[in-house]
Amino acid sequence: MAGGKETPRQKMIGMMYLVLTALLALNVSAEVLQAFQNITVGIEETIDVTKGKNAEIYSQLLSKANNMEGDENAEKVVERAKKAQEVCSSFYSYLEEMKKEVVTKDCDQSYDEGPESYKALGALQDPKNIDVSTTLLAEGPNSRGEELKNKINNTRSELVNLFDGLEGVDAAYKKALDDKLTLKAIDNTEAKEVPKRKWEYATFFQIPRGAAVALLTKIQNDVKNAEAEVLTQMFSQLSAGKLEIDELVPVIKATKSAVAVGEKYEAKIFLSAKIGAIDPIITVDGKQVKVENATGMFEDVPGAQGSISRKVMISIKNPKTGKMDEYPAEMNYDVFKAPAIISADKMNVVYQGLDNPISISVPGFEPDRIIATMTPGNLGDLVKEGPGKYIAKIKQRGTKGVDINVSVKLPDGSTKTMGSQNFRTLKVPSPIASLNGNQGPDISTGALSAVKIVSVQLENFVFEGIRYKVSKFDYIWKPARGTLLRASERGQEIPNQLRAAFSNAKRGDLLIISGIYATAPSLGEVPLAGSLVFTVQ
């Protein structure tokens, strides 16, 4: 019989997408954004494989139906299978147009035309944008999120209802099929926050453009998987009510094909055509597994990361020959260690004397179940400011920096370490003084007459909101001809006496500004290295 179930690779991609969509901090790293793009590419490759398998299933269905000429049930199955393809193709195209709108909205990048298009580059022009997904799919007067949700659920219902009137199909059969299809968009009526009760808001609100594209691609994958499931079930319907089965296909259906270390892995192993009360004999790596209603129940609890491959054998008695027919298969799944995601909101280091914002999240865990600490403790404190938001306060520097350590509370009350990340501890660099940006050694009479203050700034410092101001300085004015001026000044302004000298400056006059100090909130007063020396030109 034709196959059509999701492969372990397809299941792994679905799981990894769910992990990545948990990263909802406003400032995600470039590596995370690239991960979204990688997931999108991986899902698209899987879709191509599934399309090929679906075409193969449909071809086998037609071939078998042609050998059942005159069978009314077979004619009906072929008609419904064709309709399933049309329904899925129409919805797939709708999703493709929606992806195109997500990619092109509020930017100059096209979707599939030109050398700079998304299809040509394989990358988004503005992947961090969170407004597009919000306004287009989450909330607002022009949001299409509810429309998308309805189309997802209506498409699933339409596919399930294609089985009405076929042999052996009842309400229980349709419910079981509906449960198998991953093409679902369900509101969470129990969510504490009212907006999050809506599927579209909980799914698309303030997620990066790259994540929205990946999610829509994942829904396209669900469409093709739903098509595969329906075609497989339609193929089974060709033999409904008949005792003879001329082909069997082993199927391994895992709850998820990628799990965290210590998490349980579960898989169901069965033949796509179940034969009444005849249970097959199923082994995994030579060990027999429990069989219930022709379905093998397999469990594994991996202890380490890596890819796992197991040999599966399904044996069933052939009613014609009385001998055991064997159907070999291979089960593959990946074991990963769920990482803690730690990112500095404004920099890749933490600075002594500043409030350093830190965002911390762990895929699959709510913020209130996360425990974050900083070591060594004598260097500073990590203060929680809100869900997933912390402030690192560095009291003194350490040669090895500080570690942000993350663990989570598990449902059974125990805690599990999820990872740590090291941050360098640096002092805020000293500011640089100048006269209207001029640091010498020459200055024109016109530029000198325009000077009103000794200015100061931090160069190449990415931390926002730090502003220094000159608090005091000494000066010497030595004209080529005339009286030398020398004094100290509080604040940043050039005194009137010195400004008067500037207005009468001549070529060869000398200005020296030294002993410069500057202040900034929370950082105190600091001395500036060196002096400003100018010769009037």
Q: What is the pLDDT of residue 472?
A: 94
Same domain, 382 and 443: no
Rounded Cα–Cα distance for residues 261 and 369 (Å): 18
Task: Kindly state whether residues 352 and 484 are assigned to the same domain.
Answer: no
CB contact at 8 A, 456 and 429 = no
E-assigned strand segments in 294-438: 295-300, 306-317, 324-336, 341-344, 350-351, 355-361, 370-375, 380-386, 389-394, 402-409, 415-423, 425-426, 432-434
Helix, strand, coil fractions of the chain, as percent rounded to 5 = 35, 30, 35
If asked whether residues 122 and 248 sit together in one domain, one would say no
pLDDT higher than threshold 90 for residue 372? yes
Q: Same domain, yes or no, for 97 and 35?
A: yes
Domain boundary among 426, 444, 469: 426
Do the Cβ atoms of 25 and 388 come closer than 8 Å?
yes
Residue 10: pLDDT band (50, 70, 90) is low
CB 435 within 8 A of CB 443: yes
Separation of alpha carbons 483 and 40, rounded Å: 75
Q: Clarify whether residues 94 and 169 are in a common domain.
A: yes
Percent of the chain with pLDDT over 90: 41
Do residues 198 and 271 both lie within one domain?
A: no
Q: Which of 154-158, 294-298, 490-494 has the lowest mean pLDDT?
A: 294-298
Question: In this structure, what CATH number is given to the domain that contains residue 404?
Answer: 2.60.40.60
Same domain (yes/no): 375, 273? no
pLDDT band for 256, please (50, 70, 90 cuts). Answer: low
Are 174 and 303 part of one and the same domain?
no
Q: Which residue has the tokens 């190449």?
A: 460
What pLDDT digit, counting tens, does each position of 276-323 carry?
556 789 999 999 999 887 788 898 888 776 778 899 999 887 654 667
As a whole number, the mean pLDDT across the chain is 84
Helix (H) or strand (E) holding 533: strand 532-536
Measure CA 227 to chain center: 27
> For residues 455 and 494, what is the distance between their CA atoms, to the nearest angstrom?
10
417 and 449 in a single domain? The answer is no
pTM for this one? Answer: 0.44
* Whether residue 462 sits in one domain with residue 376: no
The pLDDT of 62-75, averaged and rounded, is 86
Residues 319 and 404 in one domain: no
Instruction: Write out the two tokens for 143.
Output: 């949001």
In angstroms, how far is CA 9 from the centroid of its own chain?
18
pLDDT tens digit sequence for 430-469: 888 999 888 889 999 889 988 999 999 887 776 777 888 9
Which residue in 161, 284, 334, 137 sits closest to 219, CA to CA?
Answer: 137
Do 455 and 404 lie in one domain? The reply is no
> Is a pLDDT exceeding 60 seen at residue 181?
yes
Q: Domain of 414?
A: 341-426
Number of structural domains (the chain) is 4
Residue length, the chain? 537
Q: If we measure between CA atoms, which residue out of 413, 393, 415, 395 comes closest to residue 404?
A: 393
